[in-house]
Structure 1
Amino acid sequence: MDSIVQHFRKEEQPFIETAFGWVREVEDTYAPKLTGFLDPREQFIVETIVNNAGLSYDAYGGFLKPERERLLIYPDYYEPETDDYQVALFSINYPAKFVTLEHRDILGSLMSLGIDRSKFGDIRLQDDIAQFAVVDELKDYLAANFNSIGKSKVRIEQLDSSVALIDSMESWTEELYTISSLRLDAVVAAIMNSPRQKAVTLVQNDKVKVNHTVRNQPAFELNELDSLSVRGAGRFKILSIEGRTRKDKIRVLIGVLE
């Protein structure tokens, strides 16, 4: 475990220990283990641990190209099926003529019901259509209790396979950057093509999020599959670390949301 932990952040250790627990459960019971919905960074951590243990895994989030997915960890004899992931998909019916919904509105309303973020996956919006994924065990609870977003009354309806799902409208381009370090201020300065001090100011003024959490420490170290959002500049992903140059600079492949 120590050899793996050293490659991740100290603050990620509780999640790493949880992931090790999942792996040990599969090894002890020789049966599959299903996780909640994980973000890309959490998926990367679990995948690293599972690969090191010699087990198998697969992921499913309900939508095409989902960001948040449930991982199924299983021994080599097992062949997973879609039903194993226990994902339910819902649409939200709301007065679209009078109300404009945003991702944060739906997210906030779901969490106000006391639901942990790991219990639901992607939230997708297109025109006046809204859809989201949730663990199957909560579908009846949501049907009975998820009836408002802000001041607007809503009604949810579980989707079947005949309903068209909202495709991801996000389009990413890949750009290779050469930077001095993986410090947050250095990466922000590079992707914004701005002076380092301006990046420091943005970070210290709570203008930068890493994995959806505000980070105001310029020295915060980034890693593979971290997502970034810089207020006024857009969203980015650390896709891979490509190695070092002869001058010991770091090559980083970064996804940029168009």
Structure 2
Amino acid sequence: MEIYQHFRKEEQPFIDQVLSWKELVEKQFLQKSSDFLDPREQKIFQSLIGNDEQFKLSFFGGTAETERKQAILAPYYESIEQTDFPIVMLHAVYPTKFITIEHRDVLGAFLSLGVQRKKLGDIVVGDGIIQLFVSSDIASFITFNLTSVKKATIEWIEKPLEEAILSSETWQSHMTFVSSLRLDIMMKEIYGISRQSAVQAIQKKFVKVNFRIVEDIAFVVEEGDIFSLRGKGRSRLKEIVGASKKNKAQINYDILK
């Protein structure tokens, strides 16, 4: 299909899924909700629907500031409310005096259960509290099976989304020009390391794009991509603004502080 040429090859299955949802909504006049999508998937979804007036598309992840969000696609005449999204917030406490728990500890414990990442939205950890935004269809499973994180015993209770705590994470925005949108160049510019260090990090599988390891230094990044470099934290490409007179790309990006 001609539409594929605008996206990466590995994104084709997701594109096919969105197009099938679009056809389902169009023919059966029903709402269709997705699992949690990362920002890149949200952008793809939005671009595939575009300005088609037959549809209404909305994203929500549990709060206004969540990064990972579910999508609901509906006929144009239907209203989409936040309560329509099949999201459950699970809340737990742990003793900070005896243990330190980080985002990656909770994610690792979740994935160890064999549950797909797409069933989990944002994770908020802080001040002895853990909050998970999960798909409603796995909430009970998580409650009964995710009983420990590191050495802490965890007991989950379901709470209304209105009681979500604000994440302590802050993103710092930057703007710069890059000679290329290749992954090695982006890692060099975003994290302030040498080109050689960026290449080595990619080849050693220290770099992830949208939570997947990418080993190709010539991988071309896109708007909405989320990066992580081991030991350097996370970042995201917010916008490709345009090109300079010297044919450099002007970009807006955020770094998680």
TM-score in terms of structure 1 length: 0.92
Distance (Å, rounded) in 2 between the aligned partners of 1:249 and 1:195:
19
Aligned residue for 1:71? 71
Aligned residue for 2:182? 183
Q: Secondary structure at the match of 1:246?
A: coil
Deviates more, 1:224-233 or 1:37-46: 224-233
Distance (Å, rounded) in 2 between the aligned partners of 1:219 and 1:23:
33
Q: Secondary structure at the match of 2:34?
A: strand
Aligned residue for 1:133? 133
Distance (Å, rounded) in 2 between the aligned partners of 1:217 and 1:5:
20
Matched, 1:229 2:228: yes
Per the TM alignment, residue 97 of structure 1 is displaced from its structure 2 partner at its CA by: 3.0
Distance (Å, rounded) in 2 between the aligned partners of 1:111 and 1:203:
24
Per the TM alignment, residue 212 of structure 1 is displaced from its structure 2 partner at its CA by: 1.7
Percent of counterpart pairs with the same letter? 36
The aligned runs of 1:107-186 (5 Å cut-off) are 107-160=107-160, 163=163, 165-186=164-185
Distance (Å, rounded) in 2 between the aligned partners of 1:11 and 1:72:
23
* Alpha carbons of structure 1 residues 116 and 193: separation in structure 2 relative to 1, 3 Å: closer
Aligned residue for 1:203? 202
Aligned residue for 2:240? 241
* Alpha carbons of structure 1 residues 162 and 218: separation in structure 2 relative to 1, 3 Å: closer
Letter in 1 for 2:196: Q
Deviates more, 1:83-92 or 1:95-104: 95-104
Deviates more, 1:137-146 or 1:67-76: 137-146
CA contact (8 A) 2:101 2:150 kept: no
Deviates more, 1:244-253 or 1:65-74: 244-253
Cα-Cα RMSD: 1.8
Per the TM alignment, residue 17 of structure 1 is displaced from its structure 2 partner at its CA by: 0.9
Letter in 2 for 1:134: V
* Alpha carbons of structure 1 residues 84 and 162: separation in structure 2 relative to 1, 3 Å: closer
Which consecutive unaligned segments of at least 5 residues does structure 2 have?
A: none
Aligned residue for 2:23? 24
Distance (Å, rounded) in 2 between the aligned partners of 1:123 and 1:53:
33
Per the TM alignment, residue 53 of structure 1 is displaced from its structure 2 partner at its CA by: 4.2
CA contact (8 A) 2:235 2:256 kept: yes
Letter in 2 for 1:250: A
- Aligned pair count? 256
Aligned residue for 2:57? 57
Q: Secondary structure at the match of 1:38?
A: coil
* Alpha carbons of structure 1 residues 112 and 256: separation in structure 2 relative to 1, 3 Å: closer
Q: Secondary structure at the match of 1:98?
A: coil
Per the TM alignment, residue 151 of structure 1 is displaced from its structure 2 partner at its CA by: 4.2
Q: Secondary structure at the match of 1:235?
A: strand
* Alpha carbons of structure 1 residues 247 and 203: separation in structure 2 relative to 1, 3 Å: same
Distance (Å, rounded) in 1 between the aligned partners of 2:190 and 2:142:
40
Which consecutive unaligned segments of at least 5 residues does structure 1 have?
A: none
* Alpha carbons of structure 1 residues 240 and 98: separation in structure 2 relative to 1, 3 Å: same
Letter in 2 for 1:17: D
Letter in 2 for 1:131: Q
Per the TM alignment, residue 229 of structure 1 is displaced from its structure 2 partner at its CA by: 1.7
Matched, 1:83 2:83: yes
Distance (Å, rounded) in 1 between the aligned partners of 2:8 and 2:46:
16
Distance (Å, rounded) in 2 between the aligned partners of 1:62 and 1:222:
28
Distance (Å, rounded) in 1 between the aligned partners of 2:88 and 2:248:
45
The superposition leaves residues 154-196 of structure 1 with CA deviations (integer Å, 9 ceiling, x where unpaired) of 1101113563x22122222222221111100111122234432
The aligned runs of 1:25-40 (5 Å cut-off) are 25-40=24-39
Per the TM alignment, residue 101 of structure 1 is displaced from its structure 2 partner at its CA by: 1.7
Distance (Å, rounded) in 1 between the aligned partners of 2:213 and 2:107:
17
